[in-house]
Structure 1
Amino acid sequence: MNRIAANPIPYWIRAGKSREVFDEAFRDLRDVGFDAVKADVPDDMTPAAYAEWIGGYGLAPSIGLFNSPFDETVDVAREVERARRFAATQVALGLDRTMVSSMSLPARMAEPAVGAGFDAGRLDRAIDACAAVCRALLAEGLRPLHHSHVGGVFETEHEIVRLLDDLGPDLIGFGPDTGHLRWAGIEPAPFIRRYADRLGGIHLKDCFADFLDPDSRRGLTYQQVQRTGRLWAEPGRGVVDLVAVLAAMPDGYDGDFMIEVDEPSRGHSKRESHRVSLEWARAALPAPG
């Protein structure tokens, strides 16, 4: 069944991932009416305890995310072991897939969404490292899906296509973020259609036009652009053609629809942002099935 899930990023992005922060997020998501939440199990909590915790708010675990720089700063063997532990936790929650992403390369956080500091050798090494992590996840029963994200080593269309095409569908599926694709200059709907047969998850994110032109954000870091409140928009209120995105998705899509607004748009509280987002989702998304 296709559930409507939320990623409560705006609650912890500045305050940190404390239990108190998540309790506030879960209360709001419950009251607004979400079905599920991104599985983000604290290091000191067992999967069973986490499931009981979010279940107390009427929420179920939805697709999580394994994040790695996948660059020269990581030890691949350690990342593989970390992926195995992550997979065991996710599988224990009853999940069969995960997003896999790269974030937070310093040069790209300083100059986001333009492929800053591209290095062909680094891309080759990153693809190899991601392949090793994907094999580990698959061995534990968790299907990896590449998740696009500005600021990482797989940021531009060329880099994402290289990863997906080099590794192939048996090793990695597709779990895009519509907002991050659009910010990086990639039209989400045609790109989703291109890899529709590998689609196993999606983050439905919208964005305003204000900072999509690189000239409009010259000298601003990733975080500075995000904090303007004029980057991310609640779904349906920005420039991402989400109608086309939904039309591009394959019949029989069996994943969740995860709503994500990293920083509520200007004038919206975190709770109100989620309320507006869910209102759009209930009107726009296909009936569960």
Structure 2
Amino acid sequence: MANFRVGLNPLPWVLGADGFNLTEPVLRTAFAEIRTTPFRGIHADPPPSLDAAGYRALLAEYGLEPAPGYFSVDLNAGNLTETAKRHAAIQAELGNTEVFLATGLTTERIAHPSIGYGGLLPGVIDAIGAAAEAITSEGVTPALHPHVGSSIEIESEIRAVLDAVPASILAFGPDTGHLAWAGITPATLMSQYADRIVAAHLKDVHLGQAQAARDADATYFDATVTKFTVWTEPGRGDVDLPAAIATLPESFNGWIVVEVDVPEADTNLASTELSAEWVTGHLGTAVF
């Protein structure tokens, strides 16, 4: 078994019907509930009101600690490298040595998710490469994180980026749920790039719902929130999560971050408890 840690993204509390509400009061509510579960590592995303030291102190108040955060590349930003360096510096100050690196969601792919609508946008590879180089310069390893609805979502796009940007500046940070929703078998792709995986998101999907949403040409938000229930807690969907984890080499000692974007359980706490039960049952308690 690889020597990794398992953390949690508090998305169920932070992500609501009106979008992200990343504030200290919301985080305090989330952390107070999360600390009643085995999870201790938290996806690091400081609210605007807190610097790295303040955010770390907030986590420590609830017996929690930082796990790798997430940097989203804005393809239209003129200050991409400066923004990437600032984000990486915060992650480094928090003690993280890796960060997930993604591209932002696009209007077209929100409307037609999971199929690579419109093809790979010009400039995506160059932008990822520039952001990765900037993050690496701060002593943090960026890990490419494909995301349905973003500029990098289907297998050919993932391979194009990983094969074009040197492994010396860009690692791989797969998300089992986003890969599966995009029609990829996570374990297959992960095994082929296993030597570049430094962190991962553990997420489950109802593949039947994903296909129904695709057949209906449902938007990203219809697929995940209103008309279909694509996301679910680990073990309640159709992704072979143990097979995906088994692809990690013995040398892997990074974080696996559990994500349930939209809980299927009745409450956020119940959802997190179900996630903890799956992790404990399949990976043991030493990973928390």
Range of TM-score over shorter length = over 0.9
Residue 145 of structure 2 aligns with an amino acid whose one-letter code is H
Counterpart of 1:35 in structure 2 is: 40
Q: Aligned-pair distance for 1:214?
A: 5.7
- The reply on whether 1:190 has 2:191 as its aligned counterpart is no
> Which residues in structure 2 correspond to 1:83-102 (within 5 Å)?
83-102=84-103
> Which residues in structure 2 correspond to 1:45-60 (within 5 Å)?
45-60=50-65
When the two structures are superposed, what TM-score results if normalisation uses the length of structure 1?
Answer: 0.93
Q: SS at 2:101's partner residue?
A: strand
**Distance in 1, Cα, partners of 2:276 & 2:92:** 27
**Distance in 1, Cα, partners of 2:217 & 2:172:** 32
2:198 aligned to 197, 200, 208, which one? 200
- The reply on whether 1:161 has 2:159 as its aligned counterpart is yes
**Distance in 2, Cα, partners of 1:238 & 1:107:** 27
Residue 89 of structure 2 aligns with an amino acid whose one-letter code is A
Q: SS at 1:31's partner residue?
A: coil
> Which residues in structure 2 correspond to 1:110-259 (within 5 Å)?
110-119=111-120, 122-123=121-122, 125-213=123-211, 216-228=214-226, 230-259=229-258
Q: Aligned-pair distance for 1:38?
A: 0.5
Counterpart of 1:68 in structure 2 is: 73
| Structure 1: 5+ residue stretches without partners | none
Answer yes or no: is the 8 Å Cα contact 1:69–1:105 preserved in 2.
no
Counterpart of 1:13 in structure 2 is: 15
Q: SS at 2:99's partner residue?
A: strand
Greater Cα shift, 157-166 or 35-44? 35-44
Q: CA separation of 1:51/1:115 partners in 2, compared to 1, >3 Å: closer, same or farther? A: same
Q: CA separation of 1:141/1:65 partners in 2, compared to 1, >3 Å: closer, same or farther? A: same
Q: SS at 2:209's partner residue?
A: coil
Q: Aligned-pair distance for 1:147?
A: 0.7
Give the RMSD, CA atoms, in angstroms. 1.7
**Distance in 1, Cα, partners of 2:37 & 2:157:** 37
Give the length in aligned residue pairs: 281
Q: SS at 2:100's partner residue?
A: strand
**Distance in 2, Cα, partners of 1:269 & 1:288:** 24
Answer yes or no: is the 8 Å Cα contact 1:114–1:214 preserved in 2.
no
Answer yes or no: is the 8 Å Cα contact 2:23–2:49 preserved in 1.
no
**Distance in 1, Cα, partners of 2:4 & 2:243:** 18
Residue deviations 1:56-89, cap 9 Å, x none?
111000000101243xx332xx011101111111
Residue 63 of structure 2 aligns with an amino acid whose one-letter code is G
**Distance in 1, Cα, partners of 2:287 & 2:42:** 16
Q: Aligned-pair distance for 1:44?
A: 2.8
**Distance in 2, Cα, partners of 1:189 & 1:57:** 35
Q: Aligned-pair distance for 1:45?
A: 1.3
**Distance in 1, Cα, partners of 2:147 & 2:217:** 20
Answer yes or no: is the 8 Å Cα contact 2:24–2:49 preserved in 1.
no
| Structure 2: 5+ residue stretches without partners | none
Q: CA separation of 1:262/1:217 partners in 2, compared to 1, >3 Å: closer, same or farther? A: farther
Answer yes or no: is the 8 Å Cα contact 1:179–1:204 preserved in 2.
yes
Answer yes or no: is the 8 Å Cα contact 1:115–1:155 preserved in 2.
yes
Q: Aligned-pair distance for 1:260?
A: 0.3
